[in-house]
Amino acid sequence: MKAKTALIAAFCILSLAGCQNGTHDIPTADTTVPVQSAETTETTSAVTAANTEAVQKDTEQSSAAENTGGQRLTLEEAEAAALGHAGVDESEVTTIEAEFDHDDGVNVIEVEFYTSSYEYEYKINADDGHIIKFSREALLWETPGKVISTEEAENIALEHAGLSRDDVTFIKTENDTDDARGKYEIEFICGGKEYEYDINTGGEIIKYEIDEINN
């Protein structure tokens, strides 16, 4: 009887041990959280920083453009460009004015100045500096005794512009009798520009103006 009891007890112990070993063999779910590498983190941070810097730069440029009106040329630079084009030394100028303006979607600087003999007017592109329009007009003039013909007046205008009759299309040539002193008004176009001349009946250029034609 005792031997049988001991055998049963041993069997129970072995069975219990087997159950415990089986428990350890049960697979468990992998709950490990992948860790981002230091290299990936560093790259992401660099890209973020670069994007942030680009946005800040664009914002600064936009702000600067708003503050300056988007102008690249200063008033002083425009004045110097006008004087240089006219071949006038600053010492010859009695008065000069310059101001920003907006003309047909273009940022411009208008410059006006006087010498003892002439009035000059310039319209300059404020973004690239090229001259859009300019004119020179004599302040004092008289009609001499000699009177030139219409054709001679046209030739004087063409020679001054450095063009030939074959180069241009005449728009207007007339003798202005409204002015007691008498003058010819001549207009022609060439190469995307319009030329206007006032020439007195003695052959002197009173005024000339060259203007880009807006297409």
Q: Per-residue DSSP letters for 7-76?
A: HHHHHHHHHHHHHHHHHHTS-----PPPPPPHHHHHHHHHHHHHHHHHHHHHHHHHHHHHHHTT--S-HH
What pTM, to 2 d.p., does this model score?
0.65
For the segment 112-127, the average pLDDT, to the nearest whole number, is: 97
Greater pLDDT, 116 or 180: 116
3-state secondary structure of 133: strand
Q: Is residue 184 within 8 Å of 175, Cβ to Cβ?
A: yes
**Per-residue exposure over 103-139, b if at least 16 CB sit within 10 Å of its own CB, e if not:** eeeebbbbbbbbbeebebebbbbbeeeebbbbbbbee
Residue 70: predicted pLDDT: 53
- 200 phi and psi angles, rounded to 5 deg: -70, 165
Residue 101: strand pairing partners: 108
Range ranked top by mean pLDDT from 4-13, 51-60, 131-140: 131-140
Predicted confidence band of residue 23 (pLDDT cuts 50, 70, 90):
very low
Looking at residue 159, its pLDDT comes to 97
* Mean pLDDT across 146-167: 95
pLDDT value, residue 64 = 32
Which has more pLDDT, 110 or 44? 110
Q: What is the pLDDT of residue 17?
A: 47
Which residue reads 């005449």 in tokens?
Answer: 170
